[in-house]
């Protein structure tokens, strides 16, 4: 399932609900991305996206993961709009019979949604706001798949 939402979500609750729905899976891997405050001056984050393309791109990335690995299911949640420091930005959960498939698929989903899903982060600090720059290593990460 793919969810793009402005509302905060509870990663623990999401993981429990997902786990209950894939009772036979045996291996469940989850990753949660959190708004970090490295400099101690971050007051929040704003996430812009491209409605329509976002859902399409995430669906395609999830579909590719379901084909390439032996997965019972995969969940992707991504926030949009205003976020506060320490809130969860996004979450990926994969379920498989095998640990390796669950881990690899979760990493694949993370790598692709970082630089192939149309989201743009803007950090808001006490000094103003600035768009987060993409990193060459995020693009390089795709080459291993």
Give contact residues for another protein (rule: CB under 8 A).
Answer: 33, 47-48, 50, 52-53, 56-57, 78, 89-90, 110, 113-122, 131-134, 139
Rg (CA), the chain: 16
Residue 92 or 102 having the CB closest to another protein:
92
Closest approach of Cβ 14 to another protein, in Å?
17
Residue 25 or 105 having the CB closest to another protein:
105
Cβ distance 29 to 93 under 8 Å?
A: yes
Closest approach of Cβ 97 to another protein, in Å?
26
Closest approach of Cβ 86 to another protein, in Å?
17
């Amino acid at each position: 399932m793919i969810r793009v939402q402005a509302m905060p979500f509870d990663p623990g609750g999401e993981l429990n609900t997902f786990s209950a729905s894939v009772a036979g899976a045996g291996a469940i891997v989850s990753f949660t991305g959190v708004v970090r405050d490295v400099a101690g001056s971050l007051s929040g984050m704003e996430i812009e996206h491209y409605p329509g393309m976002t859902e399409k791109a995430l669906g395609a990335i999830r579909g590719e993961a379901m084909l390439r690995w032996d997965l019972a299911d995969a969940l992707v949640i991504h926030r949009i709009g205003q976020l506060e420091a320490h809130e969860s930005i996004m979450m990926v959960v994969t379920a498989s019979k095998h640990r390796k498939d669950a881990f690899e698929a979760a990493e694949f989903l993370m790598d692709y949604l970082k630089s192939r899903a149309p989201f743009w982060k803007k950090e808001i600090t006490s000094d103003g706001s600035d768009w987060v720059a993409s990193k060459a290593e995020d693009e390089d990460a795709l080459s291993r798949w």
